[in-house]
Amino acid sequence: MSKQESVTETNPLKVLHAGSLTTLVRQGLGPALLQEYGIVVESEPGHSVALAMSIKEGRKQGDVYLSADAEVNQLLLKPANGAWAGWFVVFAYNTVVLTYSPRSRFLAEFEQARSGAIPWYQVLLLPGVQIRRNDPHLDPMGYYTLLVCMLAERHYGIPNLRERLLGNDTNPEQVGGFTLAQLESGEIDAMFLYLSAVQGLGLPYLLLPDEINLGNPALATDYARVHFTTNAGQTFSGKPISFSAAVLNHASQPQAALQFVEYLLSPAGQQLVRDAHFLPGPALVGGDASLVPQHLRALFQGDYRYPGEPSTTQRER
C-alpha cells in the first residue's frame, strides 16, 4: 500500500514495545512508516511483561504491542485475560551473550574468557565482579538470564552454578537500579544481554554455547527443560528467543496497526530488523490464525509453537 493509499487516521499510532526494540522502532520503523504511509508512530518502551500486565489491567492503551518473548502474549490472548489480542506474529529472533565493560578492572580476564583460555563463569565468580540484571518478574531478559544460568549448570555439570553466579531470583545486589552507561563506564563489569543490544552499543562480548544461549531452534526441547515462574503465576520455559508483534483488539488506529505489521514483515521491514542486529527468520503466527486479515496471511511461513513443540518452519542457521 502506497502513501496515497494509506489510512485516513490522523492520530499517532501508539506502539508499546520492549525496550530492546527502541532503536528499531524509533530510528527504523517510525521514519519508514511516516515516509511510506504517512503514519506517525508514537513509541513507548518498557519491560515486556510489565507492559502486557498494564494492558491487561487497563492501565495502558495502545495499538500495537511488541514483545521480547512471544510467550508473553499469553497474558493478552485468553478470554479470561480480557482478550486484548487475538493473534501475534514472530518477526525476529535473538540470542544471549555475555557482555563486559571495556573499562572493567577484570578486562584481561574477560578477554581470556573470550579467547577460550578460561571459562566465562570463572571470571564472573571472581570476588568483586559486579553483575547487573533486570527483574525476572517484569522483563524477559531478566528471566532469560536465569534460564541461561540454569542451562549452564546442567551443561557444565557444576552444582549450584546458577545460585553462585546470581544469588536468588531477585538478588537486590544485582537486580534493578542501573543504566547501561554504568556498564560502559566500568561501574558494572558484566551483564547477560541480547546479541542485538551489544552489537548496537558496540560493547565487547563473548559468545555462549548454543546449548545455553537460547538461540538455536534445533535445541528447543533441551531449552524447555528449565523454567521460571513469575510472582503473578505465569511460567516461562526455556525456548529460542523470539520477538513478536500483536495488533491490540481495542486499538484506536486498527488499520494503521495492520499496516505497521505488514510493513514489519515486508522485505523492507525485515531489512530494518537486520540493520538493528536482530536475527532474521520465518514469520510465525500464534494465537487464533483465523482472525488474521486475509491479506497478511501470505506473509506467514508457519505456526508458532510453545516450548517443547517444534514450529512448522524452523529458522535456518
| 20-73 per-position pLDDT tens digit | 999 999 999 999 999 999 999 999 999 999 999 999 999 999 999 999 999 999
Predicted pLDDT at 82 = 84
Q: Indicate where the chain has its CATH 3.40.190.10 domain(s).
A: 13-93+241-303, 96-229
Predicted pLDDT at 40 = 97
Mean pLDDT within 99-128 = 98
pLDDT at 274 over 70: yes
Q: What percent of the chain has pLDDT over 70?
A: 93
Mean pLDDT within 208-233 = 96
Mean pLDDT within 196-206 = 96
Buried b (16+ CB within 10 A) or exposed e, 14-41: bbbbbbbbbbbbeebbbebbeebbbbbb
pLDDT at 317 over 70: no
Distance, in Å, from the CA atom of 69 to the CA atom of 140, rounded to the nearest integer, reads: 6
pLDDT at 238 over 70: yes
Which has more confidence, 147 or 8? 147
Looking at residue 17, the DSSP 8-state letter turns out to be E
Distance, in Å, from the CA atom of 180 to the CA atom of 190, rounded to the nearest integer, reads: 10
Q: What percent of the chain has pLDDT over 90?
A: 89
Q: Which of 106, 104, 110, 101 is nearest to 183 (CA)?
A: 101
The three cell numbers of residue 260 are: 505497521
The pLDDT tens digits of the residues spanning 131-179 come to 999 999 999 999 999 999 999 999 999 999 999 999 999 999 999 889 9
Which has more confidence, 309 or 99? 99
pLDDT at 120 over 80: yes
Determine the CATH number of domain 13-93+241-303: 3.40.190.10
Predicted pLDDT at 307 = 66
Amino acid of residue 247: V
Query: May I ask the CATH architecture of the domain 96-229?
Result: 3-Layer(aba) Sandwich (3.40)
Helix or strand holding residue 98 (H, E): strand 96-100
Mean pLDDT within 98-127 = 98
Mean pLDDT within 183-196 = 97
| Residue 273: other Cβ atoms inside 10 A | 23
Q: What is the CA radius of gyration of the chain?
A: 20
